[in-house]
Structure formats: structure tokens, C-alpha cells
Amino acid sequence: MSFSLSIQAGDLKLWYKQPAGTWVEALPVGNSRMGAMVYGGTAREELQLNDETMWGGSPYRNDKPEALESLPQVRELIFAGKNMEAQNLIQENFYAGKHGMPYQTIGSLIIETPGHEKVTDYYRDLDLERAVATTRYKVDGVTFQREVFASFPDKVVVVRLTADRPGKLNFKVGYVSPLEHKVSRKGKKLVLTGKGRDHEGVKGLIRMETQTQADVDGGKVKIDDQNITVEGADSVTLYVSSGTNFINYRSDPSAYCPLIWLGRLRRMLLLCRITGRNLPSILYRFRIVHRFRQ
């Protein structure tokens, strides 16, 4: 008996009928530098954010001068079969008492949507071909959808929120973080700044900045020093970027935050990917076609 199994790339999805209850159940997206774990919540969505350069502590010496001096004796003990004595000597003279600096999370982007506690037709998946995490459900007959992906060339995480009826998107966006941090408004961006923790006596010198900006189609958007609030929108796209001063520990982390230079046209191109529309239709929806005709 023989048989064959054929699986198309479009069939490769991880799908679930309920939101993630723990971190290991969340769906990952990433661009090699920044990543997010998408929980797929309804009334409260969480995107736990990571930046590959976010670490505790700072540069330090992890060697001991005594190590070189005791190396010949360690070798003699090993060759004499006295391995435990060699191990004790290494423990005493080689280890500096520090185990390396720990990787740390930025925190999480939180999307709160009042009235979405009870939903029907819930579904979420991670499309492995498109690298898009989708959450979809219904509230009072309206279908709401969130799509999340990470752009490698633009170094941002993109969240696209839609509903199948106009004016139904009402939510607020904020941050939570286990780090020493501050949330503030910077122009059209909601900004999370913070610093890495001290570790094993090494002072935390990594500073980070995470920026989130909303492009809103219809409705109203307000930004204060804690939240982005959206009311009555047809569709919304959130762009999330982060940066740290990992390169030299003295620079401004915002200089490495890609959202600074991610222009409006580039954001339109990102929208083309997630919506499937061509660029002219995207430009029309954002009412900026005339700018390119001048």
C-alpha cells in the first residue's frame, strides 16, 4: 500500500478558536531585528515587543588575571586525573562572578476595545506563507479583523485593523513595560522610553525608544501622553518601531527608531502588501493622489 500527501504553501497555517492564554500560545512575527508575540485578544489585545539590542547591564570585564596564572596548574591536575581539584581551581580563579547580561523585553503594545468582551465566530491564525497573524471575530453582527506582520526592509511591525461596516472602530492604544519607563506624545507618535535594568552589579546603560503611529481612514484620532484614541474609524493602520543606544551607549535611541524616516508613501506600499490593493487605490483612499500629480 502506498499513498502521497500534497500540501500547498497556502495551506500552511497555525489556527485557533480562542485567544492565547499564555506567552507560548501567542503567534510570533518578526523581521530579524524586531519581533512581536500576538495574543489575539478581543477587548484587550497584547503585542509583546522585542528588540534584539535590548539588554540589561552594560559593557564590563568578564575575565580574571588569576586565570592565566593558574592555567598550568589546572593542566597538571587534569593530566594527573584529578578532575575535581582542577574544577575547583577553575571555579576559584577563572569565573568573574558574572554570568553575562540578560536579554530584556521592551514591554507590550496594548489595544483596548470596550464592548468586545463577548464575541462570536472567533478565529486567529498565523499564515506561514504570508507571515501575517490574523485575528477575526464578530460583535453585534459586525466582523472585526486585525492583521499583524513585520517588515524586514522598513524595520517596523504593522497592525491593520478593519471592520466590515464603516465607522465601527473604537479603541485606544497604550504601552505596558516591566522596565523603568515613561510614555509620552511626540508629534503624531505615542512614544515609550525606558532603560535596561542593572544586573549582577553592572549598571544598566541600554536606553530604548518605541514609537507607534496611527494612520486612520475616517473617524477621529487623539493622542495624549498615555494613549492613542481612535473613534468611529473605518480602518486603521498602526506602525510600531523601536531603537536602542546599543551601538555606543551614549547616543539617542530615537536615532535608531525607523519610524522617524518611514515616510507616508512607504507606509502606503506596506498597506499594499496587507490589503492586496494596488498603490493608486491606496493613495486614493488616503486622499493624497493630488500631491503626486502636482
Q: What is the pLDDT of residues 62-71, one digit of tens each?
A: 888 888 999 9
Task: Give the DSSP H or E segment for 220.
Answer: strand 220-223
Joined grid coordinates for residue 201: 552589579
Dihedral, 273, 45, 190, 221 alpha carbons, nearest 10: 80
Task: Give the DSSP H or E segment for 128.
Answer: none
pLDDT at residue 267 in the model: 59
pLDDT at residue 278 in the model: 52
Joined grid coordinates for residue 248: 555606543
pLDDT at residue 286 in the model: 40
Q: What strands lie across the sheet with 132-139, from one edge to the other?
A: 13-16, 120-127, 132-139, 142-151, 156-163, 235-244, 207-217, 189-195, 180-186
Measuring CA to CA, how many Å separate 87 from each of 63, 64, 95, 158?
17, 16, 11, 51
Other residues' Cβ atoms within 10 Å of the Cβ of residue 27: 22
Spell out, as residue ranges, where the chain has pLDDT lower than 50. 265, 279-294
pLDDT at residue 263 in the model: 60
DSSP 190: E
Q: What is the pLDDT of residues 268-290, one digit of tens each?
A: 666 665 566 554 444 444 433 33
pLDDT at residue 288 in the model: 34
**Contact (CB, 8 A) for 42 and 122:** yes
User: pTM for the full model?
Assistant: 0.81
